[in-house]
């Protein structure tokens, strides 16, 4: 049974002879940070008044002149770490300012908590459920380097189709062909046991897993699906998910990346996110409209599509994300909705007719996102659609890529770059500010951080392929 109170956490520590407590929190871009304390320091004061640390070096956080911060452990998130040799309890924390005792405005988990509170305040629903399908690659080798006069990367996988002719003493030939990794059994799928071990580790951390499988791309692309959870809890669990898959792979001298497009000319890794709203334990997205949806669900789809151009600056937040959102690789680069077309940004899954299963699937996000910010932004777009009764237009059930040019031109597409998405977010973010969920300050910080640290950093560097195109000019 999952812990829910400090008392439950103390019992868990005693049962597992815990020696250390690892306090975890998330930076603005979306990477877990941590520090540890001896278990005897996790007293009632730690849960009430917090534990101090220096927040000045956390990306997107405090300046050096206001560095002191507090972590407040959330007992609901506690789990026994399955990887550390010393018995360790890991716990996710909220962040507070030690002077004002207020929740810290740049803590992404605080923003997600505010989104849940705002949902209840609207009276529309009391619970939002999220179910991300995070894809990732498992590689056997990764090397990258850059400098003033050079830049390179190299990836390898024993599964990679590019290794079909490699001398492996012996090369057994079971290499999934490009775009044909979905779902061959072993021996072509070499990662079945590894994924199963990842699943078992997730379950030991309190995560309910529904399925695991190889994904479409060659070279070790995988997916593990978790059962849906409420917004903040799912964001917590997705961070555990990332931690588990990376550390399980490392045990076998393999490496995992959720980078959206690590391989050229094969499918990238997305994170299709399922969302639904409930009230008084009743689903609100089921009805008698298109694909069995309610009017409310269609308005929700309208909100996602209306704000998609800005939304992807948060849900697909890297320059690499837009190398995935291109035609020809099952990527959802068309801003339309459909019950079958997987090229549409919003899809309505049709696996079952159960009202409880009615949901929208937003297919633009990828695993590089900060889940607290991404899910909160999605919820705000959904609510804006419902509040303003935004019509999503007509569904697009044709093959989008076979449309006549004049018809295809009428279907809007996702931004072509992170820079375009950030520009859109700069213009369209009022929907995020409702209920003080996001603030102008956090939107500004996000845009400036991404422009300076990522967009500009890529723009000023020569690309290796430019030498193939232009060196002999």
What are the beta bridge partners of residue 347?
338, 361
- pLDDT tens string 13-36: 999 999 999 999 999 999 999 999
Least confident of 44-53, 108-117, 234-243, 431-440: 44-53
The confidence score (pLDDT) of residue 63 equals 61
Lowest mean pLDDT segment, chosen from 56-60, 131-135, 245-249, 303-307: 56-60
The predicted model gives 380-386 an average pLDDT of 98
| Residue 173 pLDDT > 80 | yes
State both tokens at 203: 């379950």
Chain mean position to CA 47:
28
| Section 277-305 average pLDDT | 96
Question: Cβ(209)–Cβ(237) under 8 Å?
Answer: no
- Report pLDDT digits (tens) over 228-253: 999 999 999 999 999 999 999 999 99
Mean pLDDT in residue range 406-429: 91
Cβ(332)–Cβ(260) under 8 Å?
no
pTM attached to this predicted model:
0.96
Q: Provide the terminal-to-terminal Cα distance of the chain, rounded to the nearest Å.
A: 67
Active site residues: 54, 133, 135, 215, 223, 272, 342, 361, 363
Q: Which ranges in 125-255 belong to alpha helices (H)? A: 192-204, 231-251
Token representation of residue 168:
């492996």
Kindly state the DSSP code that residue 111 receives in the 8-state scheme.
H
Q: What is the mean pLDDT of residues 349-374?
A: 93
Work out the pLDDT band at 400, boundaries 50, 70, 90: low
Q: Lowest-confidence range among 123-137, 319-333, 452-466? A: 319-333
130 or 54, higher pLDDT: 130
C-alpha to C-alpha distance for 130 and 361, rounded to whole angstroms: 10
Which pLDDT band holds residue 64 (cuts at 50, 70, 90)?
very low
Given a cut of 60, is residue 262 above it in pLDDT?
Answer: yes
- CA angle 12/243/421 to nearest 5° reads 130
Which stretch of 255-259, 413-417, 428-432, 437-441 has the lowest confidence by average pLDDT?
413-417
For the chain, what percent of residues have pLDDT higher than 70? Answer: 97
Structure confidence at residue 40 as a pLDDT band (50, 70, 90): very high
**pLDDT of 258 strictly over 90:** yes
Mean pLDDT, the chain, as a whole number?
94
How far is 380 from 444, CA to CA, in rounded Å? Answer: 18
The pLDDT score that the predictor gives to residue 66 is 64
**How many angstroms separate the CA atoms of 293 and 426, rounded?**
32
3-state SS, residue 361: strand
Q: How many CA atoms lie within 13 A of 97 on its CB side?
A: 12
Closest of 43, 22, 42, 41 to residue 33, by C-alpha: 22
Exposed, middle or buried, 465 (CB in 10 Å: 0-12/13-18/19+)? exposed
The pLDDT of 325-341, averaged and rounded, is: 81
């Amino acid at each position: 049974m999952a812990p829910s109170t400090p008392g439950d956490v103390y019992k868990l520590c005693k049962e597992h002879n815990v020696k250390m407590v690892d306090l975890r929190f998330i930076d603005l871009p979306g990477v877990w940070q941590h520090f540890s304390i001896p278990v005897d320091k996790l007293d009632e004061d730690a849960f009430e008044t917090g534990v101090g640390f220096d927040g000045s070096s956390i990306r997107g956080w405090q300046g050096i002149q206001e560095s002191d911060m507090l972590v407040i452990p959330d007992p609901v998130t506690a789990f026994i770490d399955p990887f550390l040799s010393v018995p360790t309890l890991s716990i996710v924390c909220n962040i507070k300012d030690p002077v004002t005792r207020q929740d810290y405005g740049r803590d992404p988990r605080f923003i997600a908590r505010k989104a849940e509170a705002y949902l209840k305040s609207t009276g529309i629903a009391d619970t939002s459920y999220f179910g991300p399908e995070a894809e990732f690659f498992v590689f056997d080798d990764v090397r990258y380097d850059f400098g003033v006069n050079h830049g390179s990367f190299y990836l390898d996988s024993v599964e990679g189709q590019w290794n079909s002719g490699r001398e492996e003493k012996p090369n057994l030939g079971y290499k999934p062909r490009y775009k044909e990794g979905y779902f061959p059994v072993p021996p072509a799928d070499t990662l079945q046991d590894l994924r199963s071990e990842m699943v078992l580790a997730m379950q030991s951390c309190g995560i309910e897993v529904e399925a695991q499988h190889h994904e479409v791309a060659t070279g070790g692309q995988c997916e593990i699906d978790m059962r849906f959870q409420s917004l903040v809890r799912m964001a917590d669990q997705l961070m555990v998910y990332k931690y588990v898959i990376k550390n399980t792979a490392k045990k076998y001298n393999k490496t995992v990346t959720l980078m959206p497009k690590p391989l050229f000319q094969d499918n990238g890794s997305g994170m299709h996110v399922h969302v639904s709203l409930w009230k008084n334990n009743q689903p609100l997205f089921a009805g008698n409209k298109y694909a069995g949806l309610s009017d409310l669900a269609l308005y929700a789809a309208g909100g996602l599509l209306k704000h998609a151009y800005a939304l992807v600056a948060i849900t697909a937040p890297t320059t690499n994300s837009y190398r995935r959102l291109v035609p020809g690789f099952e990527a959802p680069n068309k801003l339309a909705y459909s019950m079958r077309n997987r090229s549409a940004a919003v899809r309505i899954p049709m696996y079952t007719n159960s009202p409880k299963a009615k949901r929208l699937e937003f297919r633009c996000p990828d695993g590089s996102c900060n889940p607290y910010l991404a899910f909160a932004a999605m919820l705000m777009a959904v609510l804006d659609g419902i509040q303003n009764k935004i019509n999503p237009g007509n569904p697009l059930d044709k093959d989008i890529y076979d449309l006549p040019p004049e018809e295809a031109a009428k279907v809007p597409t996702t931004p072509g770059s992170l820079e375009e998405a950030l520009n859109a977010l700069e213009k369209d973010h009022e929907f995020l500010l409702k209920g003080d969920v996001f603030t102008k300050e956090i939107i500004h910080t996000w845009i400036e951080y991404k422009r300076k640290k990522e967009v500009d950093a890529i723009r000023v560097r020569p690309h290796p392929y430019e030498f193939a195109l232009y060196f002999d000019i």
